[in-house]
Amino acid sequence: MRSLAVEGLNVDLGGRPVLRDVGLHVDEGELVGLLGPNGAGKTTLLRAILSLTRVRTGRILLDGRPGRPGRASIGYVPQRHEFAWDFPISVEQAVLTGRTGRIGFLRRPGVADWRAVGEAIDRVGLGALRRRPVGELSGGQRQRVLVARALAVAPRILLLDEPFTGLDLPTQELLDDLFTGLAGEGRALLLTTHDLVAAMSSCSRLVLLNGGVVAEGRPDELRDPEVWMRTFGVGDRSPLLKILTAA
């Protein structure tokens, strides 16, 4: 089943076109990698899907129907620097903020909310740190808090913006296994990443983006150096192509 579909999406920022006629889809059970250079529009696309960025034309379908993310189960993991880590709250309180849209600003969390928070924290392996202040966490632990925060709403669709950036290899492997497992449960995942090797080995499909979609397909279908050169604006001697050959 098609969980997420983007059709003919055009987005302008500051009067400048950032996304041009973008189309892509993510089905149940897929882990799709969104790859492209800095400024390609990857984060803008995620924010457009979440209705956080205004769309000039095009449409976004959730489970085959136009809709707002608040009416569907979408989890969002932003880049780490977007979260206020100096705010004096614990891990479980930070994860609870992921359910604010369901609880409401003037209501107290109930038993079901705390149960969902606990399950999400355990899922990312932070059960022993649930009461630790977020300001005392390492970079990898902070990333897992953001993932747990997104999982606390039991999402069918999960959007992840650069989840592996700045992490050590054990944490990358832990998250990679987690994302693969979530896809195996039938969830639809769309992630942006600069880790091309990890994307080639873990993702069901790849979408190469630079303002518009340059190419998409399974990793074994994207071996033509030309599409990578056009996406990243590099020449035929770029180390990028050697990385892809090795992958």
Question: How much is the pLDDT for 69?
Answer: 58
Please give the angle made by the CA atoms of 76, 82 and 85, to the nearest 5 degrees: 110
More confident site: 68 or 110: 110
Percent of the chain with pLDDT strictly greater than 90? 77
Helix (H) or strand (E) holding 3: strand 2-13
Closest-CA residue to 26 (of 147, 182, 185, 189): 189
pLDDT digits (tens, 9 = 90+) for 44-103: 999 999 999 999 999 999 988 886 655 457 999 999 988 999 999 999 999 999 998 777
pLDDT tens for 164-193 read 998 988 999 999 999 999 999 999 999 999
Q: For residues 173 and 166, give the distance between their C-alpha atoms in angstroms, rounded to a whole number.
A: 13
Mean of all residue pLDDT scores within the chain: 92
Instruction: Map out the domains of the chain as residue ranges.
Output: 1-73+157-247, 83-154
One-letter amino acid of 34: L
Sheet arrangement for strand 74-77:
74-77, 157-161, 188-192, 31-35, 205-210, 212-217
Q: What is the pLDDT of residue 68?
A: 66
Give the pLDDT of residue 239.
Answer: 87
Homologous superfamily assigned to 1-73+157-247: P-loop containing nucleotide triphosphate hydrolases (3.40.50.300)
- Distance of alpha carbon 178 from alpha carbon 191, whole angstroms: 13
pLDDT bucket at 148, cuts 50 / 70 / 90: very high
Angle value at C-alpha 14, between 40 and 146, nearest 5 degrees: 55
Percent of the chain having pLDDT more than 70? 96
Average pLDDT over residues 211-236: 94
Mean pLDDT of 103-109: 76
Structure token digits, residue 71 = 């009416």
Residues 135-145: tens digit of each pLDDT: 999 999 999 99
At residue 188, what is the residue type? Answer: A
Minimum mean pLDDT range among 20-24, 34-38, 57-61, 81-85: 81-85
